Amino acid sequence: MRKILLPALIILLTCASTIAQQLTLLKETNIANPVAVSADRYGNIIVGDAKGNVHKYDSTGVLLQTFSSPNTATISSIEAWPSLQILIFYRDIQQFSVLNRFLTPTLLSAPIHQEVAGFARAATLGSQENIWLFDDIELSLKKYNLATRKIDTNTPLSLILGDSEYAVNFMREYQNNLYLNDRNSGILVFDNLGNYKKNLHFADLTYFSFFENELYFTKDNTIYLFNLYTLSERQIKLPVGASYKYSLFAGAKLFLFTHKAMRIYLVK
């Protein structure tokens, strides 16, 4: 039976300080069913919709570019933070595309071959032209070098995950660490060489992001923030009347995504 909430998450939900921050709505933009989001280092927001299109907005919500993929597969994840490149991962068809900052493909619909990963359950962009892959068949974490087209590191996870039921669905690289999300056990943390460090026991998540020194996620119309270094926790209550799929911080602004829109708030 899958664990829904671990004790550490229960503590987070009940004991973390609630921050009474003022959210002022600046703009709302219609987006039909966003399925993946990311922010780059310059405050731009990248959104993938249910039709496979990728849209780039500036920090004011102005649409800058749109990329329409030649395939109709569902976008599983988007990563724009580590470099000037943007990674689009398609789990169902085991392909990825790499776009530049103008959303022009530099690598289009590249297949993930069997010799690279038996089945890539999750993928994210790393530093120095690398892509992290979670191989569901080999139960391993791999760093794939885009330049050499070879695996640089391969970390077996059988001893870490054990015999328990796992549900890996998402991962991100941030501040020289790799954060691998297992919905059942929490967020597994590795260094940039693939060495396991610890587990952050936040279960039943599908998405998380980072802002400065904090990891955060949205649950029950509340943003939960966890400081990666002080281990302190805080919460921000979100406006009522909507159900939010994703949240992204960019500077003093908060971007909230519903099933049909992107709302931009000023945070004070």
- What is d(CA 105, CA 24) in angstroms, rounded to the nearest whole number? 36
Looking only at the bridges linking them, the beta strands covering 233-237 and 17-19 are parallel
CA angle 154, 125, 198 (to 5 degrees): 55
The beta strand positions in 168-252, using DSSP E, are: 168-174, 177-182, 186-191, 196-200, 209-211, 214-219, 222-227, 233-237, 246-250
Q: State the pTM of this model.
A: 0.90
Give residue 19's pLDDT. 60
Contact 34, 48 (CB under 8 A): yes
Note down pLDDT in tens along the chain; length 268 residues.
Answer: 333 344 444 444 444 566 668 999 999 999 989 999 999 999 999 999 999 999 999 999 999 999 998 888 999 999 999 888 999 999 999 999 999 999 999 999 999 999 999 999 999 999 888 999 999 999 999 999 999 999 999 999 998 887 778 999 999 999 999 999 999 999 999 999 999 999 999 999 999 999 999 999 999 999 999 999 999 999 999 999 899 999 999 999 999 999 999 999 999 8
For the chain, the structural domain boundaries read 32-267
Which overall architecture, per CATH, does domain 32-267 show?
6 Propeller (2.120)
